[in-house]
Each structure stands twice: as structure tokens, then as C-alpha cells.
Chain A
Amino acid sequence: TQLLEQSPQFLSIQEGENLTVYCNSSSVFSSLQWYRQEPGEGPVLLVTVVTGGEVKKLKRLTFQFGDARKDSSLHITAAQPGDTGLYLCADSGTYKYIFGTGTRLKVLA
């Protein structure tokens, strides 16, 4: 069974700081997705990456997929309170989506 480990588990930072969160898989990803979940809501897709070494940018968020397709990172530049939430990575290549345990980010104003 594939296991997705995310680190750190919790992160509390000041507005304006940069941060990186990580997702590591016990096996090669079929395809990787990152979701953000705000309190009381369901997760919302941020990005999908498929190719090893791929880098995608979404405004202040930069997503990197490892060359071996077993790890990924999410870097946020100049974090804002609106970035607060639970960040989840997922393997989305089959019908049996597998999610990581998440990184809970709090950005303080």
C-alpha cells in the first residue's frame, strides 16, 4: 500500500515569510495533485503534475515534482493570511486516490 508522508505536520509563520512543505511517497506517483482545504470546507485542487522534474507556478505558489516522481515540494513566497489551511498531496493516477496526512499552515497577520 502506497504511503504519502507530508512534512512538517504543522507550520505557523508570520505574514511575508517564505515556506516549503514536502510530500514523500513510498512508491512512484502515477500523477500528483496538491489540494488546499480551509476550515469547514472540502479540499480544492491547486495543481496537478505528471512529469518528473516538472515545475509549476500558481501566483506565489511553486510546485516541484521530483525527478524520480517519488517526492514533491510546495513553496510559498511571501505568505499571506489567506494561505492559511490544510495542504494535502494526493496520488491521482488511478480511481483509488491516496492522500497524504497533510500540512496545517497558519499565517499570522
Chain B
Amino acid sequence: QVQLQESGPGLVKPSQTLSLTCSVSGGSLNSGGDYCTWIRQHPGKGLEWIGYISNSGDTYYSPSLKSRLTMSLDTSKTQCSLKLTSVTAADTAVYYCARDSLVKTPVTTRAFDIWGQGTMVTVSS
């Protein structure tokens, strides 16, 4: 059974770069329709989609974060990573990775069918 686990520093200083890794166990993101997507939840707030990287390395980022964001996927497709530069307190959140799967029945659509438990990141000096 495929599982995801986020890892990274819990505390980042303002203006520095936040780096997180999502490790895939029990399988890989090897299906052509799989994306590794990142979502965050600010304290006491709703969910914000950050972006995804596809199985083939294509990326799509939220326009609000695009200028600061880089995602990557390792060649074994068992780790995807997120780098967010020039962080501020507004980037304090729980960060989740999820498998964004292509579903073909009953219609072709996408859904996040496997999630990590999330990792809390605080931006503070």
C-alpha cells in the first residue's frame, strides 16, 4: 500500500528557503497519470493548493507562489520535493503532500487519493 510522508525543518527563518521532501513508500509515483501535489493549511484556516509535479516532471504552480516555488521529482519517482524561497510569516502552515491521481471511471477526473500526515512549518526568527 502506497504511503506518503513529508519531512523537513519545522522552523525556518524569514527570507530563507523552505525545503520539504515527500517520501513514497510501498510503491512509487510511476503511473503516467500520477502527480505529486502539495497543499498547505495556515493555522486555523482553510486549504491552499500550492502546486504539482507530474510523473514526467512537468510542473504547475499556484500563480500566487509561482515566483518563489520549485518542485522536483527524483528519478526513482519515490521522492518529490518542494522549495519555497524568501519565506515570511505568511508561509507558516502545515504542509501536505498528496498523490494526485488520474481517475478514468465513471468520468476522467483527478483526485487526491493518498495523503501524507502533514508537517508543520513555522517561519520565525
Tell me if chain B binds chain A. no
Listed in ascending order, the chain B residues whose CB lies under 8 Å from chain A are none
